[in-house]
Structure 1
Amino acid sequence: MAEDPLAPYRAKRDFRRTAEPEGAAPKRRKAKALSFVVQKHDATRLHYDFRLELGGVLKSWAVTRGPSLDPAEKRLAVEVEDHPLEYGGFEGTIAEGYGAGTVMLWDRGSWEPESDDPAADLEKGRLRFTLHGERLKGGWHLVRMRPRGRESRTNWLLIKDEDEAAHPGDKDALLAGFTTSVATGRDLNAIAGKQDGPAKPPRKRAAPKKDPESPPAKKRASSSARVTVAGVALTHPDKPLWPEDGITKRDLAEYMEAVAPRLFPWVEGRPLSLLRAPDGINGERFFQRHGGRGVSPLLTQVKPRGEESSLLQVDKPEALVGLAQWGALEIHPWPARSTAITRPDRLILDLDPAEDLPFTAVVEAALVLREGVSAMGLIPFCKTTGGKGLHIVVPVSGASWKTLHDTAARICEALEAEAPDRFTTSSSKAVRGGRIFLDFQRNARGASAVAAWSPRARPGATVSMPLDWAEVREGLDPKAFTLRTAPARLKTADPWQDFEASARPLPKKG
């Protein structure tokens, strides 16, 4: 007889004392008609239970800080026992025993796996999927973390994809904005019987939608005059995009034209995630990676093998100016070309320091990584991120997504093991104080990193600047490279001119 997947669930509960459903025998359904639910659970510690229907049960994770629409937020998701499908409708109080506390139906809907075999994806430790919920929408992925020491639990990361449903910078805004049940309109106190009065109607307002085919409908005040940059007509050229810095759409377009000789080769022929802010950095911003109506005609819409929706791509220099006209302030290319989508050619390590660390610590970390990567027979390059960190970028050849990700993880985890007081590979901000977060998750299919020479949608209009290793030393100021100052570097030799020629095969795991 096949093992009962719900045996661990039932063994932990006394159904004479709990209102939780015991559950019927698991029944499988078609892979394209699967349910998901998120339950806010006020137990020993408040958390959100994330559940995906698969194989006739609800695969379940306890997301300690709840889901976020911010792609930069990698939320810890602890794998727990499978739950019966009937649990997807449960809301109430668990009086005593395992999981005692109040459970609220926070979100629900359907989900679609990206592949035809999501069970195999889970087994491999990486599941990509799309949610169609009342509050959670768009692309997401779950990534299993490597176990640490004697750790018994299985930890994953729940991460929002960079797409039209993403809200960069939102962090916990979604959780703060939705505090009642999607089923009954009650909050946790009402469910627990701690307050009187009728339940409030469920809030119908979904998370703000981002139409991938058009910018958010807002009244935009700017000049109606037209100018042309690199043959591209600009509407409202005097619209401020970085208002505090006095930088307009025309300034951005002229910057794109000026730096195209170095920026264009970095993004040409690659799927892109674009951070759009049509009303400037103080207005609404959103990631767009898919094509559709309303896309600038200067952009190419491609559908690489294995992708269900078209992706955006730049195939001619003037398309960079088209991005400025379209309100795209940041350019994030994939580490693979569309024509060779299964063969990534860039390994990217993101050094993200804790707020309490000086930039000198990041410089020191980059030099340590340079030495380690070079010892592997690879040739690393360094650039600023336009923020508070640095990127180590390594040209590679003959890699698969698995070998790329595994190698990046091995490099970072080795450095963490060598100096755990200085480095961490955990995205949890609770353990990052005084440390540099070594992020290797940009080395997966669908992931991206800001392009060299791309502006950032941040105060100061900083850009991600390629560096000569001789510049990576004490005194390096990443804020010195801005949309206004960067073009002056075009007069000097390109420190990355040998990047493509420096590609080497990844070393085999020893």
Structure 2
Amino acid sequence: MSPSNNRPPLEEYRRKRDFNRTPEPSGSAPATGDIFVVQKHAASHLHYDFRLRLHGALKSWAVPKGPSLDPSQHRLADQTEDHPLEYAEFEGVIPEGNYGAGTVLIWDTGTWEPLDGGKRDYYGGRLRFVLHGNRLRGTWLLIRQDEKKWLLIKEEDEFAATEDALAQETSVVSGRTLEEIAADRDRLWSSERGEEKPEGFGHPLGESFPDYIAPQAATLVDRVPEGGEWLHEIKYDGFRMVCRIDKQGRGIRFFTRKGYDFTDRLHLLARAAARLPVTRAWLDGEIVVFTPEGKTDFHALQNAFRNGNDRGIVYLVFDLMNYEGYDLRSVPLAERKALLADLIPQMDEIRYVDHVVGSGEAFFRAACERKLEGVLSKQVEAEYVSGRSRRWLKVKCAQRQEFVVGGYTESGVGRPFGSLLAGYYDRGGNLVFAGKIKTGYSAGSSEALIKVLRRYEQPDPSFVNPPSGVEYRNPHWLRPELVAEVAFTEISGTGLLRHASFKGLREDKDAREVVLEIPEPTGAEGATPSTASTAARVPPAAAASPPAAPPARLSFGAREPREQPVYPHERIMREEIINHYALVADRMLPHIKDRPLTLITCRTNIYACKFSKHATNFPAPVKAIDAGHEEKYLAVDSKEGLLTLARMGVVEVHAWQSRYSDLEHPDRLLFDLDPPESDGFPWDRVAEAALRLRIHLQGYGLESFLQTTGGKGYYVVVPLAPAAPWKEVTGFARRISAEMQEKFRSRLTAKLAKEERGERIYLDWMRNGRGANAAEPFSLRARPGAPVAVPITWEELVDGVTPGAFHLRGLKERLIHLERDPWEGYFTLRQFLPPLRAR
């Protein structure tokens, strides 16, 4: 591979990033010296980024397992895009919705010098060099395997060692852990100015000023909740929009609920927001266009965007998440709205959304009589939580929701088209046809819409049940990417829309998120009643009944810290996690007793976790065991030890495949069936692969057991008598995976690299190496939904038990109704590693 002289070195880096939304440097600051940096990066997968300054940029490799000081350990290194030189100083949080979102820690830094043929050896695919770092020193090799795959290898010298360098988990710059960086965002980054300290108030109520806040969403229910613990607002017909005000920094920015920057379309609103009496804030609201009758008109809003004229667009603001650097998301809604009411002055472009407390049914009736869209009901004491919540509810006056546009018919009367063909996604990820949208188009909007539709045409339908018949003559099929807002009277018994009317296309919603909205029962959520009814100024046509009382003032006095949910969307607190491990302890302990553990600890929430495997800061009865490393490993052998881990923030429990009593001889084999990450991959193919692996192992005289992972795959576990050493066990596992790949080449692969897997299931044999680990039976997983890894029978697999079938709040019922242990006989079965068959 030769160097490219006509492509800017940072072109790909800049193409992947929006520097208005990510704190990463854009690549303008100079740097001197032959520097290197290793950054620990908790993105979708924890990995280490190894970077060397070479020819004006940082050449970069993602090292999934991190660098090793052991020359026998060859680390896979995936080459990524070049990074700017000042990236070597970047430590912080890349916000959600951005490329590489996650926490970045500077794990090592220093200088490097090339050996042999010098820097030009990089282009020959074999670069030998010396590192002078805080943690990495001595001679190293980078060897290219193919275009993007390299190996990072430590050479034998005085700095080579078998100790685990990655046991050092803190930043060499700040001394912080990943968890501390994620939780304490006290250092901001500007692409233009580098690192800076926030000004103004301190931050006693939470973290510093964030780069993006995903909005809270309401759950559709069948009726308005009653009681004084609920406040009610009008539901408007527009686009949800959050606004970031940072007058001394990046200015005014407007973002949709998916994080798209709409500021360029909202110049007048940005100017209006700049006049608000606040230096820094995060607002939540809806942009709308009012008709002369005082109703909101979605069509008019669409026309404004289409014509590039934002005059007449109004920002209706109903929440305040951050005020002058104070994170208000844990403050009760009533207090947030009281402060917001004082913040919004009398102005045409930005208006405060008023509310009433209690009297929900009367408020709803009044809204529907005025033919408004519906009502939003919110708990007065509710905190602000990004994502959908039952503490915010919505009730609609008429049937209305989004549908995917999967096609259109031709017109028989000279119009640009006849009807749009609507659909939604079912639970299996299939696009289901839901009927025609016949009305709602003016002559002008029809002409504009057909130009959009033609850009998405494709030869075949995406619907799982495409319509046919004379009324669907000459259909034009579309890629299922457009989302339409649709009003309708009802859905018929055959599942088709009746009297559907087009309201406009939505740019703020991903088509894959469109499902059929079925109102849930309102139910009763336990909320603390409000101590003060709050209401204030009402925008034109915004209130259906008079204010209840003067607004309460928000005090910035000292507050008792509130415990935050570990699983924010499910509102699962630490106590529930402790109760889970108390429930499963007797079943879990035989599997984990005296194994070296690797723990995933989430002390604040599942989006700010860290790995722990060394016995630092863990009190008795958690044990410290010697596993041949400088630092001792964690282990437990009692229920109290397990509960101690849970009390200290542990969510996931992983372990080695051997026990402390005989560390060098594993007592089980474990294969992880990892399907492709693409949505909609058929579950039955994963189940089939597990069954085929079982049969293959039986050919060697080995019985196996099955475990769900809480994700998309299964573990197939083979108990062994602890007799064979690690090298033999690892070799056997690798050979089994290779044999399965040969037999089922179109379905299975033993290749680690994701780009080489395609749509095949990865049969991961690498969890059988010394120090490798896997989620233990009954371990929670730090993923949305609070899934649990659970032993199941092979019969249950055939009956359709999926990898993510079990969750924290439903596991107790399963355990109560179990008639026998799914892994009956596991601990009494003595099996020995057989010799491998000749090929």
TM range (shorter): 0.5 to 0.7
Counterparts in 2 of 1:360-509, with a 5 A limit?
A: 360-397=684-721, 398-473=723-798, 475-491=800-816, 492=818, 493-509=820-836
2:637 equivalent in structure 1: 315
Tell me which structure has the larger Cα radius of gyration.
2
Structure 1 Cα separation of the partners of residues 691 and 730 of structure 2:
21
1:291 aligned onto 2:326: no
Structure 1 Cα separation of the partners of residues 778 and 80 of structure 2:
34
Counterparts in 2 of 1:270-349, with a 5 A limit?
A: 270-282=595-607, 284-292=608-616, 294-304=617-627, 306-349=628-671
Give the AA of the match of 2:812: P
Residues 163-219 of structure 1, C-alpha deviation per residue, up to 9 Å, x if partnerless? x9789xx9xxxxxx99x9xxxxxxxxxxxxxxxxxx999x899xxxxxxxxxxx999
Structure 2 Cα separation of the partners of residues 452 and 66 of structure 1:
39
1:39 aligned onto 2:74: no
Structure 1 Cα separation of the partners of residues 169 and 583 of structure 2:
44
Give the AA of the match of 1:39: L
2:368 equivalent in structure 1: none
Q: How many residues align?
A: 365
Structure 1 Cα separation of the partners of residues 619 and 714 of structure 2:
31
Counterparts in 2 of 1:54-65, with a 5 A limit?
A: 63-65=78-80
Q: What's the secondary structure of 1:335's corresponding residue?
A: coil
Distance 1:402 1:200, change over 3 A: farther
Counterparts in 2 of 1:43-122, with a 5 A limit?
A: 48=61, 63-65=78-80, 86-87=113-114, 94=120, 98-99=123-124, 108-111=133-136
Give the AA of the match of 1:349: F
Give the AA of the match of 1:363: A
Structure 2 Cα separation of the partners of residues 297 and 221 of structure 1:
34
Would the aligned equivalents of 1:39 and 1:48 in 2 still touch at CA under 8 Å?
no
1:267 equivalent in structure 2: 592
Structure 2 Cα separation of the partners of residues 407 and 97 of structure 1:
36
1:143 equivalent in structure 2: none
Q: What's the secondary structure of 1:247's corresponding residue?
A: coil
Q: CA deviation at 1:475?
A: 2.8
Structure 2 Cα separation of the partners of residues 112 and 269 of structure 1:
35
Structure 2 Cα separation of the partners of residues 408 and 453 of structure 1:
24
Q: CA deviation at 1:439?
A: 0.8
Residues 274-314 of structure 1, C-alpha deviation per residue, up to 9 Å, x if partnerless? 000000213x210000012x21333111113x232111111
Q: CA deviation at 1:221?
A: 7.5
Give the AA of the match of 2:804: K
Give the AA of the match of 1:495: P
Distance 1:297 1:371, change over 3 A: same
Give the AA of the match of 1:328: V
Distance 1:411 1:86, change over 3 A: same
Structure 2 Cα separation of the partners of residues 370 and 393 of structure 1:
9
Q: What's the secondary structure of 1:479's corresponding residue?
A: coil
Residues 142-173 of structure 1, C-alpha deviation per residue, up to 9 Å, x if partnerless? xxxxxxxxxxxxxxxxxxxxxx9789xx9xxx
Extract unaligned runs of 5+ from structure 1.
Answer: 1-20, 22-36, 74-84, 138-163, 171-176, 181-198, 206-216, 223-235
Structure 2 Cα separation of the partners of residues 330 and 419 of structure 1:
33
Structure 2 Cα separation of the partners of residues 134 and 317 of structure 1:
28
Q: What's the secondary structure of 2:569's corresponding residue?
A: helix
Structure 2 Cα separation of the partners of residues 455 and 253 of structure 1:
11
Would the aligned equivalents of 2:170 and 2:178 in 1 still touch at CA under 8 Å?
no
Distance 1:318 1:107, change over 3 A: same
Structure 2 Cα separation of the partners of residues 421 and 446 of structure 1:
31
Structure 2 Cα separation of the partners of residues 298 and 349 of structure 1:
31
2:385 equivalent in structure 1: none
Structure 1 Cα separation of the partners of residues 583 and 167 of structure 2:
42
Q: CA deviation at 1:500?
A: 1.4
Q: CA deviation at 1:265?
A: 1.1
> TM-score under structure 1 normalisation?
0.61
1:353 aligned onto 2:675: yes
Residues 87-125 of structure 1, C-alpha deviation per residue, up to 9 Å, x if partnerless? 179997x5x99449x999999444489xxxx8799xxxx
Distance 1:239 1:132, change over 3 A: closer
Give the AA of the match of 2:719: P
Would the aligned equivalents of 1:41 and 1:103 in 2 still touch at CA under 8 Å?
no
2:577 equivalent in structure 1: 252
Would the aligned equivalents of 2:706 and 2:716 in 1 still touch at CA under 8 Å?
yes
Q: CA deviation at 1:262?
A: 0.6
Distance 1:112 1:313, change over 3 A: farther
Structure 2 Cα separation of the partners of residues 365 and 350 of structure 1:
11
Identity across the alignment (%)? 30
Distance 1:301 1:54, change over 3 A: closer
Deviates more, 1:389-398 or 1:128-137: 128-137
Give the AA of the match of 2:79: T
Distance 1:134 1:312, change over 3 A: closer
Structure 2 Cα separation of the partners of residues 63 and 242 of structure 1:
32
Structure 2 Cα separation of the partners of residues 120 and 310 of structure 1:
25
Structure 1 Cα separation of the partners of residues 745 and 162 of structure 2:
29
Structure 1 Cα separation of the partners of residues 169 and 128 of structure 2:
18
2:363 equivalent in structure 1: none
